[in-house]
Amino acid sequence: MTEHEKIFAGKMFNARGAELKAVKHKAHNLCVEYNMLTEDNPRRAEIIHEMLGAHGESVNFQGPVQFNYGMHTKVGSNFFANYNFIVQDDGGVTIGDNFMAGPNVTLSTPLHPLSGKQRAGMVNEKGETFVPCYAKPITIGNDVWLCAGVVVCAGVTIGDGAVIGAGSVVTHDIPAGVLAYGVPCRVIREITDADKPYYFKDRKFDEEAWAKINEK
């Protein structure tokens, strides 16, 4: 069984071995190149296509961005991630359409032992010393907004239309259509039609903007 196969079979894998290093180094180098380009450089779109496992139309990373593998991430259409978007996609990350991420958002799929002695290193059948690693996928639905500083942990699913408030640490699944925030993140309330006239708390859209929104 290859190290890639071990990841998606839920088995312990060697993230530092030659097999996975080659994939990660390619992604890391593409991220460095992407981050050094100006926002209007067409090469950015080419890098997104080369790096990600799959993507829809209109995908934009403000940059800087960092992926562990890139090829383990699939995103939908109308995707936007703000500054410092970090994706540790060892176990796979799937994101739907109309996604927004504020600055400093992290999606982290790897898992390591609590025991310091175990984390110090193990020896595999090839005689290689490595840090034991597992990974669980992250799944994010359509129309999701992760506000600034959100951290999504391994194994989490976030439902369609959810909004995760700034600074939250998401350690468990979040259902569709809710506002959730906190450390750890918890559901605060449902998002309903009564929220539509407002762009922030009790602040309403001006009449011209509201008319344009209702045209859609």
The residues annotated with a catalytic role in the active site are: 112
Residues 6+ apart with CB under 8 A from 148: 82, 102, 103, 104, 105, 166, 167
Cα–Cα distance measured from residue 152 to residue 141, given in angstroms and rounded to the nearest whole number: 13
Residues 6+ apart with CB under 8 A from 28: 66, 67
Cα–Cα distance measured from residue 62 to residue 85, given in angstroms and rounded to the nearest whole number: 8
Q: Give the count of beta carbons closer than 10 Å to the beta carbon of residue 129.
A: 11
For 73-130, the DSSP string reads EEE-SSEEE-SSEEEE-TT-EEE-SS-EE-TT-EEE-EE--S-HHHHT-EE-TTS-EE
Count Cα atoms within 13 angstroms, Cβ side, for 10. 1
69: amino acid identity, one letter: Y
